[in-house]
Amino acid sequence: MTKNVLVAFGDSYGAGAELFESGWKIGATQKENDVKNFIQLLGTNYDECHNFSLVGASNPGLIFQLKQLQKIYNENYTYILVVMLTQHNRDFIYSREKGWIDLYPGMSKTEESYKSEEENWYNLVNYPETAHLNWYKSINLVQNYCKDKGIKDVYIEQFNPSPYIEDLEFLIDRTKIYTTPVIKELFFKDGKESVGTLDWKSFLTTNSYKEFYSPNFHPNELGHKKISNKIKEIIYTLNG
């Protein structure tokens, strides 16, 4: 018996961070009983929904979520994979103490134990050049997996516009990518552009924050509904 299965890769937004309580923990997945995050809302149209989103995830770290997909993959099922691309200056590094970790600027503000890794890495590595190469490699990896397995795949930028480097374009199929950052498009329309983060200083004073985020730093229930509706449109457009 075949099934239509939705699979999602993503970060804290997909994992539903702060939907039920303030604060978040690096590496956390969605709560077991969470049916309100935008991935699960999308999943109501499918026979099964697997949300592998992780709080703090990076684009290079998508390889970890890809391994989760491989564990549940059934060649008799029909899959669609939605990849919510995260901030481009996040990275996936190996720490002698912690093993493989997703790293991003400022993470030690909420997880102090990552302070040395954060400072050492971002003092050493240059961005956005490294971020752009990571972006191409990450998408290439997942797209090739999906091509091999016959999985329909869609990639959606959340926070940063997709880079374009002409001599790396052969690595990816850009027609599968929504290159406009959807979170900025929906909520942060007037924010300043940045490779790393969102323009929170101006956003906190907007009606958009009050309606779709308040009282926290991730979308509330209404915000997730708005994201879900937009992603449904994107999936139809890119896979239509």
Q: What is the pLDDT of residue 209?
A: 92
CA-nearest of 56, 80, 210 to 142 is 80
Domain ranges of the chain: 4-239
Q: What is the pLDDT of residue 188?
A: 82
Residue 192 confidence class, pLDDT cut points 50, 70, 90: low
Question: How far, in Å, CA of 114 to CA of 98, rounded?
Answer: 9
User: Does the predicted TM-score (pTM) go above 0.85?
Assistant: yes
Question: How far, in Å, CA of 5 to CA of 74, rounded?
Answer: 10
Those residues whose C-beta lies under 8 Å from the C-beta of residue 189, and which sit 6 or more positions away, are 208
User: Which CATH number among 3.40.50.1110, 2.60.40.790, 3.40.50.460, 3.40.190.10 corresponds to the domain 4-239?
Assistant: 3.40.50.1110
Q: What is the pLDDT of residue 194?
A: 46
Q: DSSP state, 238?
A: H
Question: How far, in Å, CA of 11 to CA of 219, rounded?
Answer: 13
Q: Are strands 152-157 and 177-178 parallel, antiparallel or unpaired?
A: parallel
What would the pLDDT profile of 143-189 be if each residue is shown by its tens digit? Answer: 999 999 999 999 999 999 999 999 999 999 999 999 999 998 999 87
Query: Does residue 11 contact residue 86 with C-beta atoms inside 8 Å?
Result: yes
Question: How far, in Å, CA of 37 to CA of 225, rounded?
Answer: 8
Residue 199 has pLDDT above 80, yes or no: no
Q: DSSP state, 24?
A: -
Question: How far, in Å, CA of 46 to CA of 185, rounded?
Answer: 26
Q: What value does the mean pLDDT of the chain take?
A: 93
Which whole number is the average pLDDT over 176-205? 78
Question: How far, in Å, CA of 196 to CA of 36, rounded?
Answer: 27
Query: Does residue 56 contact residue 102 with C-beta atoms inside 8 Å?
Result: yes
Task: Give the pair of three-digit tokens for residue 73.
Answer: 């993959």
Which whole number is the average pLDDT over 10-34? 94
Query: Does residue 143 contact residue 153 with C-beta atoms inside 8 Å?
Result: yes
